[in-house]
Every structure is written in structure tokens, then in C-alpha cells.
């Protein structure tokens, strides 16, 4: 197995960041779960669904950044591999959300580079703090993402099965990642960290819905 230097990993992180932020640069490894034909939506419904999917797309950009940052600073090789594998699985979500935005004649948030940068720094800091905190950070992140997805599922128009199938599969994957992180030794994060994560998440949600 090849051993990468610190410079190699920085270059790899830069490449991963570009792939996460440039539209069309990320390809899904699994088939899109939205197999049904698009249902007709009113103008207001389509606008609302596009806002929700833009938020979820930004959330996946954040997830990519968190995992990339943690993989860069993880101390144990097996934890680094788990972070890298999780980032690959999350690429499916990124591509699916982007596909749905295109179908709705909408685009990702222009603030995604900001969210990526903040999330990368937070992920790298969690990795520096230690692998058990890094895994705990994953578990808490996925828990909060699952709450957002559940809320969005409740807001979707009843006939929008394409968006629903995507969000349901995403939620299933996020909960699996949360459980995997906990079983691997993740610990509960300090309350101030959880509060900060929630505050940033709310800011991202409210702004990415519109821009």
C-alpha cells in the first residue's frame, strides 16, 4: 500500500474540494433511487422543493468537507480509511441532489465554498482532537443531518415521489454512518461543541434555501 506524504494529502484534499464544489464534477456510484417519473408541481411547490434540495445539497458539501478534513488529520490509518470511505458514499447524495436541482431548473447554493471551508476546518480540528472525538463528530453530524432530512420529508408535496425517494435513501445512509461511527468508538461531544454545530447548521439551512 502506498504511503502518502503530508504534501500529497494536501493536494488530494484540494482536488476533493474542487470535485465537491464544481457542478457536474461528482458522479454517483449507485443508481439514483428516484425511479418514478417526475410529478407535476405548481410554481410555488417547485420553488419550495428546490429550496429544500439546495439545502440538502449544501449539507452534503459540508459532509464531504468534514470527512476530508478528518481524513487529513486522523491519527489511526483505519479511522482515516473509514472517513475516506464515508466521503465516497456521501458523493452519491451530492450527485442525487444536484440531479434533482437540475430537474427543478434550479442551481446549488453560491455559498457552498464558504460552507466547505468552515466544515473542512471543523473536521480537521476534530481529527486533531483525537480519533474518538473525530468519530463522535461524525455521529453528531449525521444525527443532525437526519433531523433535517426528516423535517424536509414532511414538507415535500405529497406527489413529489422523486425527491422523497432521494431523501429517504439519504436518511437511511446517514443513520448507518452515525451507528458505524458510534460502534467504532465515537464519544459524545461536549455540549458547547454540539451547540456550535447546531448554530452553524441553522445558518446554513436558512441561507442556502434562498441563495
89 is in an annotated binding site: no
The three grid cell numbers given for residue 85, joined into one nine-digit string:
470511505
Name the residue range of residue 200's domain.
Answer: 6-21+40-208
Q: 168 in a domain, yes or no? A: yes
149/169 Cα distance (integer angstroms):
10
CB 118 within 8 A of CB 197: no
142 is in an annotated binding site: yes
Q: 34 in a domain, yes or no? A: no
Q: 28 in a domain, yes or no? A: no
108 against 16, higher pLDDT: 108
| pLDDT, the chain, mean | 85
28/20 Cα distance (integer angstroms):
12
174 is in an annotated binding site: yes
Query: Can you tell me which residue has the cell 406527489?
Result: 159
Arithmetic mean of pLDDT, 128-153: 88
- pTM of this structure: 0.86
Indicate the range of 47-51, 176-180, 206-210 predicted with least confidence.
176-180
pLDDT digits (tens, 9 = 90+) for 81-92: 777 677 777 789
38/58 Cα distance (integer angstroms):
23
84 is in an annotated binding site: no
103 is in an annotated binding site: no
3 is in an annotated binding site: no
111/204 Cα distance (integer angstroms):
9
Amino acid at each position: 500500500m502506498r504511503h502518502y506524504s503530508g504534501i500529497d494529502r494536501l493536494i488530494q484534499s484540494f482536488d476533493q474540494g474542487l470535485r465537491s464544489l464544481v457542478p457536474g464534477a461528482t458522479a454517483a456510484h449507485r443508481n439514483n433511487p428516484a425511479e418514478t417519473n417526475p410529478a407535476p408541481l405548481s410554481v410555488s411547490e417547485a420553488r419550495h422543493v428546490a429550496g429544500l434540495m439546495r439545502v440538502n445539497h449544501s449539507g452534503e458539501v459540508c459532509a464531504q468537507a468534514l470527512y476530508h478534513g478528518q481524513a487529513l488529520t486522523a491519527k489511526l490509518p483505519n479511522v482515516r480509511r473509514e472517513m475516506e470511505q464515508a466521503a465516497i458514499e456521501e458523493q452519491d447524495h451530492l450527485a442525487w441532489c444536484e440531479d434533482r436541482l437540475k430537474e427543478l431548473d434550479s442551481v446549488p447554493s453560491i455559498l457552498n465554498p464558504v460552507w466547505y471551508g468552515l466544515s473542512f476546518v471543523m473536521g480537521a480540528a476534530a481529527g486533531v482532537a483525537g480519533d474518538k472525538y473525530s468519530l463522535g463528530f461524525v455521529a453528531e453530524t449525521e444525527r443532525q443531518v437526519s433531523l433535517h432530512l426528516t423535517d424536509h420529508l414532511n414538507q415535500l408535496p405529497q406527489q413529489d415521489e422523486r425527491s422523497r425517494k432521494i431523501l429517504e435513501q439519504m436518511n437511511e445512509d446517514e443513520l448507518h454512518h452515525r451507528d458505524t461511527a458510534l460502534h467504532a468508538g465515537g464519544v459524545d461531544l461536549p455540549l458547547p461543541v454540539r451547540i456550535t454545530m447546531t448554530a452553524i447548521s441553522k445558518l446554513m439551512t436558512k441561507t442556502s434555501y434562498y441563495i
